[in-house]
Structure 1
Amino acid sequence: MDESALKFAERLVPPSYVSQGGEAMRARRSKVRQLLEQRKCPKEGWDDLTIELLLNDLASMDSNNFSHNCGVGEREGRVYSELVRRRHYRLAHGVGRSGDLAENQPKAAGSSLMYTLTNAIVLDLIRHMGVQKAASCLVVPMATGMSLTLCLLTLRQTRPQAKFVLWPRIDQKSCFKSIITAGFIPEIIENTLEAGGELRTDLAELERRVEKLGAENIAAIMTTTSCFAPRGIDRLEEVAGVCERRNIPHIINNAYGLQSSKCLHHIQQAARVGRVDAFVQSTDKNLMVPVGGSIVAGFDAKFIAQVGKTYPGRASNSPILDVFITLLSMGTEGYAKLSAQRKELKVHMTEGLQEVAHKHGLQVIESKNNPISVALTLPHGASDHNLTQLGSMLFRRGVSGTRVITATDNKTIAGHQFIGWGSHCNNYPYPYLTAAAGIGMENEDVKLFLERLGKCLGKTVVEGKLAQGGKEKEERGKEKKDIGKEEEKENCFSEEEEKENGFSEEEEKENGFSEEEEGRK
């Protein structure tokens, strides 16, 4: 209601009641006005009613929701299902136009305004989290890999002769496939193994490859921040310096690094001392929304605008709407709090894994340049099958997100063979398990993970599943006799826990954990 409507309402309800309700309405409208005026993410999150008020106002500005609308085109925002209509808050036109992701639509003033505001508040969040010099960003309705491809295709327009993308190895398919999909030839730069077991960028080899190929033939160097331990953040500052000196574009895969102040600090420093054309991050990994979107940000607003112009056709507004609602609900203070909590839980997880490692004769790999992921060594002599069964055991007990790396798995992607796939290098010295402290994780998650990991390790040791050689059954029997009832109870699941967590005899047999099957293997 506007002010005149409230005056009429006073004829129907006592004026004091209307005045009180009117104040509440004006407070919500004031937040909307402030958002439109300042174009910044609110410091404190909004309540759901205020967000829905804004969304309803935006939807009412789109032509498909006009009460007098008479659509005679092929795309008029028609939605058959009322459930779908409500799911999208009646915003059915998407964003952008055929030639530009960021272009406004004459039929959809509300959707266009929503997209512009989303880009503005995301940019404000990026600056708030540490990349103060970021000039522009686009929320793109594609996941990280495809958005990296979009950035590379944009570079092709200015470097048509370039064929190669230099890529310090990171064993994650989508970033590698983004290079292939964009039509470039990936030049894989193997990492160096440093003291403590961490993997870092081989700068000498990268510079040697630049000399060999010629800077003019290189479309970009693609580095990585967030990754699975024991790989650390790429040496962004040094690579950015090479890119600046040799006039080579630099794209950073920051997939889940927005939640990490350390990742963002390195991006900021790289842009300060050298060249960074764009850094790309996932919306679901960083902002806790459904999969389907990413953020392309950079320090040159013209290049980011060109990325938007490279996108063909109109785009879905579903991932954008999810981000818009989430950030209004969360606010910068809410996001900063979650980020700080994640950082604390990473420390807690690492300390807990060190205790587990000490108990089972293992060790936590020192990855001081990886602020999110941590790796725990596994018994070196165990077979690959038994090692991967540990990952299966954890997953069946409700622990998701861990990865067991044996360093002997080979994989071929688009004709390129990777030795030791998953370990980011050809010959990592020992197998390991990784886990990550991601945003939104809670203390109970860490507690349960450490508890279940310890018990799964205890179970595999007791039953000989991580033993080696032909004496496996003999060693298993010996260990069973040597371990007292109290220690076995401490290290393994109780009968109730076995039942609760899916340790039925049928499942054990089905998944290769029966004594008969173990003996055959």
Structure 2
Amino acid sequence: MNPKNIELTKELIKKTYVDQASQAIAQFNSLVTQILSQRRLPEKGWDDKTIEWFLAQLAMMDSNNFIENAGVGEREGRLYSDIVSRRHFGFAHGIGRSGDINEQQPKAAGSSLIQKLTTYFVLDAMSIAGIEKVDHCLVLPMATGMSIALSLMTLKNNFCPPTAKYVLWPRIDQKSCLKSIATSGLIPVVIDNVLQGDVITTNLALLEETIVKLGPESIVCVMSTTSCFAPRIPDKIIEISQMCKRFNIGHVINNAYGLQCTKITHQISQSCRLGRVDAIIQSTDKNFMVPVGGAIVASPNEKLIDTLAKNYPGRASGAPILDMFITLLSMGKQGYKALLDERKSLIPYFTHELDKVAKEFGYRLLHTPGNTISFGVTLQKAHSDTDPEPSASSSVSPSQSVSMIGSKLFMRSCSGARVIDLKGGKKTVAGIEFEAYGSHIDHYHSNYLTVACAIGITKDDVDTFIKRLKKVLIQ
């Protein structure tokens, strides 16, 4: 209610009651004032009722919710289903305009305000996570792979010489990474990794050799990766950024779920400070616990973000941005910090329990200290000369037994575990053939299982998984 209507209520009910109620309304309004003026996450997360109240106020600012609106255009935000309307809190116009995804929509002041506030919230969250020197971002209604593709096309068409066509790609066996290069119409050049003990890591010497061989003028960028499945560790992005600066070529960082790791965010900040970083792309669902469908493109280069926004064709869905807006309001700074801290505190416990169960069955935990999100356990025992030969009448080969571990875990409601069988054969992705696809290298020393200690995980998740893993390994 506005002040005039509050005064009018005093003619109907007792003034003392109205004064008390108006104080409560003022408290709601003060929360809104704080985020509009400070443009940061609230210190303490809002409760659901407050968020819904605020969304209702914002939805009233969109033309499809005007009481006396008469829409005569081809796109008026009409919603046939009440279920759909409730699901989207009455927001129907999306974000942006045909020429710029960041441009404000005349029919949707409320949606435009949500988009702008979400951008500020995300930058604040990234700062809390540990990324500095990055003051510009765009929340896109596309998942990570397509957002990388749009970033590559923007870099190629606006910031590179006409002869540039290659993307140098330290091998990461995740399909969308490679397909994003192909989708953007560029040519991927695979930089094979090196093996150091258990660790699979960046071959910096081969990367530099390839830059010299192809010529910097023919290279759009190096696309490095920070979040990856063990035993691969994050690329050496600081050294890569310095190399890109020296050769004056682009550098795009695939940081899909790296915001939750302070070690990674520190390296990104150092890369921006010491070398060249054009774009950092991260998933909204993997880092902020929202439905799949959004990604954050961040950059220390404001011009790149502005150009990328103008390159997005047409309007865009506002749903992934609305999901982020609601979730970040709900988390607040305290809630987000608590989630980051909880994940970090569970790492020693998770790895200890994994190591214990691995040893119990004659396996071992892979030593990959550079990766503090994903962890691997060998699935290959060391046999002595006295070990009996496998039975010829066995209906399941050792290779099949390894590959079945993942499916048996999934059947026991354990999702996310990955089993790598090195005898899985060749696989072709985006026209490139790989040996032992999934292991990030042609010749690893053993089959293995990977799991992740990711944001939102709980001790109960760890304990339940360990119990079920033991049952599967016993079989």
- Residues of 2 paired with 1:338 and 1:233: CA distance? 22
Whole-angstrom distance in 2 between the partners of 1:26 and 1:321: 25
CA distance in 2, matches of 1:121, 1:174: 27
Amino acid corresponding to residue 436 of structure 1 in structure 2: A
Is 2:178–2:430's contact at 8 Å kept on the other side of the alignment? no
CA distance in 2, matches of 1:16, 1:288: 44
Instruction: Determine if contact 1:99/1:309 at 8 Å carries over to the other structure.
Output: yes
Q: Deviations over 1:244-293 (max 9, x none)?
A: 01111100000011111111111001111100111111011111111100
- 1:483 corresponds in structure 2 to none
What stretches of structure 2 of length at least 5 have no aligned partner? 384-396
What does residue 132 of structure 2 align with?
132
- Shift of the alpha carbon at 1:125? 0.9
Partner Cα distance (2:20, 2:458) in 1: 39
1:289 has 2:287 as partner = no
In the TM superposition, what is the alpha-carbon distance from 1:34 to its structure 2 partner?
1.3
Partner of 1:447: 463
| Corresponding position of 2:388 | none
Contact 1:408–1:421 (CA under 8 A) maintained in structure 2: no
Structure 1: how far apart are the matches of 2:16 and 2:344? Answer: 49
Residue 132 of structure 1: how far off its partner (Å):
2.2
Listed as ranges, the matches of 1:361-376 within 5 Å are 361-376=362-377
Aligned to 1:58: 58
Q: Deviations over 1:230-249 (max 9, x none)?
A: 10010010000001011111
How much has 1:17 moved relative to structure 2? Answer: 2.0
What is the match of residue 5 of structure 2?
A: 5
2:233 equivalent in structure 1: 232
User: How many angstroms apart in 2 are the aligned matches of 1:25 and 1:302?
Assistant: 41
Identify the residue that residue 516 of structure 1 maps to in structure 2: none
Q: Distance in 1 between matches of 2:290 and 2:13?
A: 42
Deviation (angstroms), 1:13: 2.4
For 1:307, the equivalent position in structure 2 comes to: 308
Quote the offset at 1:133 in angstroms. Answer: 1.4
Distance 1:300 1:135 in 2: 8
Distance 2:348 2:309 in 1: 39
Structure 2: distance between partners of 1:85 and 1:384? 51
1:181 matches 2:183:
yes
User: Which residue is 1:498 aligned to?
Assistant: none
Structure 2 letter corresponding to 1:396: M
Aligned to 1:167: 169
For residue 61 of structure 1, give the secondary structure of its aligned residue in structure 2.
coil
Specify the code of the residue in structure 2 equivalent to 1:271: C
The whole-number CA distance in structure 2 between the counterparts of 1:212 and 1:408 is: 33
1:34 aligned residue: 34
Give the match for residue 246 of structure 1: 247
| Secondary structure of 1:134 counterpart | coil
Residue 49 (structure 1) shift: 1.9
Aligned-residue offset at 1:41 = 1.2
Alignment-derived partner of residue 500 in structure 1? none
1:408 Cα deviation after fit: 2.6
Distance across 2 between alignment mates of 1:66 and 1:262? 48
Is 1:337 matched up with 2:353? no
Counterpart in the other structure of 1:360: 361
Separation in structure 1 between the aligned mates of residue 356 and residue 12 of structure 2, nearest angstrom: 69
Letter in 1 for 2:257: Y
**Whole-angstrom distance in 1 between the partners of 2:131 and 2:409:** 37
Give runs of aligned pairs for residues 137-148 of structure 1, distance below 5 A. Answer: 137-148=137-148
Aligned to 1:513: none
Structure 1 residue identity aligned to 2:90: R
Q: Distance in 1 between the 2:359 and 2:402 partners? A: 19
- 1:421 and 2:450 correspond: no
Amino acid at match of 1:128: I
Q: Deviations over 1:196-216 (max 9, x none)?
A: x01110000000000011011
**1:470 alignment partner in structure 2:** none
Tell me which amino acid in the other structure corresponds to 2:111: S
TM-score, scaled to structure 2: 0.95
Q: Which position in structure 1 is the counterpart of 2:454?
A: 438
Bigger CA radius of gyration: 1
State the 1:124 CA deviation.
Answer: 1.1
SS of corresponding position for 2:258: coil
| Structure 1: tracts of 5 or more residues without a match | 460-521
Q: In structure 2, what is the Cα distance between the partners aligned to 1:342 and 1:20?
A: 42
Q: What SS is found at the alignment partner of 1:222?
A: strand
**2:400 counterpart letter in structure 1:** H
Q: Secondary structure at the match of 1:258?
A: helix
Structure 1 residue 346 corresponds to structure 2 residue 318 = no
CA RMSD of aligned residues (A): 1.1
Q: State the Cα distance separating 1:450 from its structure 2 match.
A: 0.7
Task: Identify the range of structure 1 (155-164 vs 25-34) with the bigger mean alpha-carbon deviation.
Answer: 155-164
Query: What is the percent sequence identity of the aligned residues?
Result: 51
CA contact (8 A) 1:127 1:133 kept: no
Contact 2:142 2:293 in 1 (8 A): yes
Q: Structure 1 segments of 4 or more deviating over 4 A?
A: none
| Count of matched residue positions in the alignment of Structure 1 and Structure 2 | 458
Normalising to structure 1: TM-score of the pair? 0.87
Contact in 2 for aligned 1:408/1:419 (Cα 8 Å) = no
**How big is the shift at 1:370?**
0.6
Q: Distance in 1 between matches of 2:180 and 2:417?
A: 24
Moved more, 59-68 or 162-171: 59-68
Return the offset for 1:383.
2.6
| C-alpha displacement of 1:366 | 0.8
Give the whole-Å Cα distance in 1 for the aligned partners of 2:422 and 2:17: 70
- CA positional deviation for 1:336: 1.0
Paired residue type of 1:319:
P
1:402 is aligned to 2:417: yes
